[in-house]
Amino acid sequence: MIDLHLHLDGSLDPKNVPMMAQMSGIELNYSDKELKKMLMVEPDCTNLGEYLKKFDLPLKLLQTQECIEYAVYELMRVLDLQGLCYAEIRFAPQLHKQRNLSQEEVVQAAISGLNKGIKDFSMSANLILCCMRGDENVHENMETINVAEKYLGKGICAVDLAGNEAAYPTKQFEEVFLAAGRKGIPVIIHAGEAAGPESIRQALEFGAVRIGHGIHAVDDADLMRVLKERNIYLEMCYSSNLQTKTVNRAEDYPIVAFLKNNLGVTLNTDNITVSNTTLKNEYRLVQKQFSLDENLLLKIVLNSVQASFLPADRKEHLKCRITREFSGWLH
């Protein structure tokens, strides 16, 4: 099974946080219950701001090469135990420089953890580097693009744009992502989550081959047609979209509308720890909420294979494996 939209800082295993704090020289005076409360949203989460507060402690910890390497490796351990065969893990190198690491040093540490995980576990993974929405970080975003180019195919598979979509419209980042396109780096953009269809259209203009979330594409029938014609995949994250109130009611979640329009739907976790979920849980929740049959769920996971940045021969191998194993994994 495959998770294509998975943030490293939102997916730290609470059991590993004390070890990471020790590595970082940070004193944690919290009980296990208090620690989980700092890392996971409550069932009654009311908005995106409340959700994003859960990243404060992880980002405080992920400021040394040792911790970054450890976090990637341990996330792969968790995913392997959960039965995943492949994942694309994303993070923003510019957010991990509080202790004077360069973006390249951050990425090197993550790749080291990735390579150790590939060696030790039965699953494999790649890394996606996130640029960030903001007013004064063009230099940092261009540095992320340059580091991605250097390590493309060596653990890095794409670049992304994350952050406050409502405050910093996608159109502000044209320079950054056109540069990525010129360098041959695949582009993903978080769009249509906190802003409307126009944000998705702008992402497509900048060369995005996948859209993070893309919920508000449902508001524009012509845009859905474009997404289908261009074979653009949507990285949907059911639990987190409800928790952040991107969608207020479960019954309004547009996955069925997208499937009826033959869009490339994929299902992902977003943040395993913050959302307190697993990929299997996401499939089961969607199955129950929308009465989706197992064949349709299998189609979604096979979409994830096709949408991945794996080479063609690996995709064909995974499709065969997943078709054999999906029913047993789901149940």
Q: Cβ distance 233 to 266 under 8 Å?
A: yes
Distance in angstroms (rounded) separating the CA atoms of residues 85 and 82: 9
Please give the helix or strand (H or E) that residue 124 lies within, else none.
strand 124-132
Which DSSP string corresponds to 38-99?
HHS--TT--SHHHHHGGGHHHHHH--SHHHHHHHHHHHHHHHHHTT-SEEEEEE-GGGG-TT
What contacts 100, CB < 8 A, 6 or more positions away?
none
What contacts 186, CB < 8 A, 6 or more positions away?
157, 158, 159, 209, 309
Q: Which of 74, 140, 193, 282 is catalytic?
A: 193
Report how far apart the first and last C-alpha atoms of the chain are (Å, whole number).
Answer: 13
Which DSSP string corresponds to 218-285?
GG-HHHHHHHHHTT-EEEE-HHHHHHTTSSSSGGG-THHHHHHTT-EEEE--B-TTTTT--HHHHHHH
193 is catalytic: yes
Which residues sit opposite 86 in a β-bridge? 2, 124
* DSSP symbol at 152: B
Which has the closest alpha carbon to 268: 57, 34, 84, 121? 84
One-letter identity of residue 328: G
Written as six digits, the tokens of 86 are 């492949």
Which has the closest alpha carbon to 212: 178, 161, 246, 143? 161
Catalytic residues, by residue number, are: 193
